[in-house]
Amino acid sequence: MTTLDSLSHWRLDRDADGLAWLTFDRAGSAVNALSADTMAELATVLDALDAQPPKGLVIRSGKPTGFIVGADVNEFAELNTPEQGRALVARGWNLFNRLAAVRYPTLALIQGHCLGGGLELALACRYRLVEDAPGASLALPEVMLGIFPGWGGMLRLPALIGAPAALDMMLTGRGADARRAATLGLVDARVPTRLLQAAARGMVLSGKPPRRARGLGAWLNRWPLKAVAANRARKQIAAKDPLRHYPAAPAIVDLWEKHGGNALQAPALIDGIIASDTARNLLRVFRLQERLKANGRQAGAPPVRHVHVVGAGVMGGDIAAWCALKGMTVTLQDQDMARIAPAIKRAATLFSRRLKDRRAARAAFDRLVPDPAGGGVPLADLVIEAISENPEAKRGLYQALEPRMKADALLATNTSSLSLETLRGGLARPERLVGIHFFNPVAKMPLVEVVHADGTAEATLARACAFVGQIGKLALPVRSAPGFLVNAVLAPYMLQAMRSVDEGLSPATVDSAMVAFGMPMGPLELADTVGLDIARAAGQELAGGAEPPRCLAEKLARGDLGKKSGRGFYAWRDGKPVKEGQPGQAPAGLAERLIQPLIDATRERVEAGVVADADLADAGVIFGTGFAPFTGGPLHYQSSRSA
C-alpha cells in the first residue's frame, strides 16, 4: 500500500491555516507529464485528503518548465489492444471526476504550459489562477495528435467558457496565453508572479461559486441549440478536411453533442480513433518534432544575446524582427535608413500582433536598432548575412565583416541556394561560417535549416542549432548541397504542378487537388508565394538545366513573378490570391503524380547524406513545407503504401 511518505512524484504540505499544497514534480523528467504511476499516486493523495479533508487544496508545479504538459505520449504509443485504449481513457476520466467531486475547494495554480491532460486536471478544480507571464499557454492539443481530450475536457471546457470558444480550442488545438485565458473565463484571474501564492490562498478560501459559461455560449450547450452548434462545427471540419484524413475532429463533436464529453459511452469510437493510422502518424510527427527541438538544446553552447543582421529585405528584416521578439538585442544594417524603414514597420506590426501587452511590444521594438553604419558588428554574438544571392557580393561583405567581429562570434548566411564551400573562400576563419536558412514567412514557418560543410567546426554547428532553439524554431542540420533539403524537394513538386498546367489543367484545379490531399496550400499558390523567378532558378539548378514549363516561362517573360509583383498563376490582392470560379474535376491520381517527384527527391537527399536519416528528412519536409502531417512524412507515406 502506497503512503504519502513513499510518493515519488507528488509532495503534500499542510500549512497552519489548514490549507493543503500539492506539488507535482515528476521524478526523472524535465517536465510534468501524467503517466500511469503519477496518476496512481494522485489517487493516493486524494485518499489521504478524504480521510483528513483540508480547508482547501492548491495544486501547483515543482518544475520551472511549467505546470503539466499533458499525458505521457509514450503510453499512447504502447497501446496494442482496444481494451488498453479504453482503460487509458477511463483512468483519467474517473480520477478527474473524483477530483471534481471532493468536498473541499480546489485550485490549480498554473505557471507556464498547461496542456492536454494538464488542462483537464485544472478544469476539474473549482478555481484556476494563471501566472501573468509570457510563457503561459493553456490548450487542449489532442486533436493535433489524432486523438481527443477524453479525461473530462469535452465535458468541462464548454461548461466553463461556452460551446463556441470550447469547440474552437478543441478542434484546432490552439492555445491561450494568460491574457486570453482570463478573457475567455478559462481562469479566474491572471496574477503577477510575486503575488501567486497569496492570490491562490485567498481564492481557494474565498467561498466564491465556480465560474460557468453565460449567455449564448451557455445556451449552445443545451438542446436543441447544441445540435445547431455541432452541425456548424461539422461543416467547418468538412470544408477543411473533405477527405476526412483527421477523424479526431468530428469525433470530438460527436462526443460533446451525443455523449456529454464522455468517451466511455462510445467505446467503438475510442477503438477506431486510437487505432487509426492518423493517430499513429501524428504521434510519429510529434516525436519527430521533439527530435528537432532536441537539436536546439546544445549543452554548453553560450546563449546569443546580440544579433547583427546585414540586409533589411523581406527575409533579413523579418529575421531581425523575430530575434527581437524573442528577447535579443538586434542591430539591422543596410545601405541607408530608407531601405531599413519598411522592415521596422513590419516589425512593429509583428510585435503588436504577437505581444498583446503594449509595454512588451514597445520593449521588443526598442531591442530592434536600425544600424546603417554597422556599428553593431563588433558587439554581436552572431552576424547573419541576408543579402542577394550573389556569391561575389557575399564574399566581399564577409571580408569587410570578419575583421570587425568578436573572436567567438558566429558568421551565418541565410542563403537558400549557394554552397558554403563557394562562400567561405577568402575567410581567415572559414570554420565559423554556417548556414542558418529561414523560410518565408519567418514568423510562421517553424523550421530552420542549419547548413554545414566539411571543415565546419562542430562547436559552430552546435551553437547555431542552439540559437535556432533559443528563438523557438526547429533546427534541422543539413549538409551543404544545392537546395539543401526543403527547396530541393519543393522544386520538382512545383515544376510537376506547372507541367500539369501546360497539359491543360487550371491552377485552381491543381491546387485544390493538393489541398484535398492534405497540403496547407497548393503548389502553384506556393510558387507564387515563393516567387516564380526563384522557383525557376531552383528548378534549373536541381533539374540539370532542363527546359522550364511553358507556363512558367511565359509568366516570367511578362514580368509576372507571383505575389511580390501582384500577378503570377493568380492575381494577388491584399496579400491573398484571387481564385475565380470553381476548380475543375481533377484527373484520377493527380495528387499522387504531383507528390512523387517530391518523394523521390527526399529519398535522394537521404542517400546523398544531406540529412542524417529518413526520419529527419520526413521531419524537415513536414515542418519546412507543411507536407500533410497525417501521412507521417513523404518517405513514411510511401513505405506504408507499399507495405
Q: Is 289 exposed, middle or buried (0-12, 13-18, 19+ CB in 10 A)?
A: middle
* Same fold? 10-275, 486-642: no
The C-alpha atoms of residue 241 and residue 238 are separated, in whole angstroms, by 5
Q: Which of 143, 142, 81 is nearest to 117 (CA)?
A: 142
The C-alpha atoms of residue 1 and residue 3 are separated, in whole angstroms, by 6
pLDDT of residue 541: 65
Select which of 9, 437, 452, 636 is catalytic. 437
Q: Is 580 exposed, middle or buried (0-12, 13-18, 19+ CB in 10 A)?
A: exposed
Domain boundaries, the chain: 10-275, 299-480, 486-642
* pLDDT, tens digit, 9 for 90 and up, residues 511-520: 999 998 989 8
Q: Other CB atoms closer than 10 Å to residue 639's CB: what's the count?
A: 13
Contact between 368 and 326 under an 8 Å Cβ cutoff? The reply is no
DSSP 112: B
pLDDT of residue 596: 94
The C-alpha atoms of residue 534 and residue 260 are separated, in whole angstroms, by 52
The model carries a pTM of 0.89
Contact between 296 and 473 under an 8 Å Cβ cutoff? The reply is yes
Contact between 115 and 123 under an 8 Å Cβ cutoff? The reply is no
The CATH number of domain 486-642 is 1.10.8.620:
no
437 is catalytic: yes
pLDDT of residue 1: 47
pLDDT of residue 435: 96
Contact between 595 and 588 under an 8 Å Cβ cutoff? The reply is no
Could you give the C-alpha distances from 222 to 217, 256, 258, 380, in angstroms and in order? 10, 11, 11, 59
Q: Which of 532, 572, 576 is nearest to 556 (CA)?
A: 532
Sheet holding 56-61, edge to edge: 10-14, 19-24, 56-61, 106-110, 127-131, 189-191
- What's the CATH code, domain 10-275? 3.90.226.10
Low-confidence residues of the chain: pLDDT under 50? 1
The C-alpha atoms of residue 123 and residue 529 are separated, in whole angstroms, by 42
At residue 329, the 3 state secondary structure works out as strand
Residues 299-480: name the CATH superfamily: NAD(P)-binding Rossmann-like Domain (3.40.50.720)
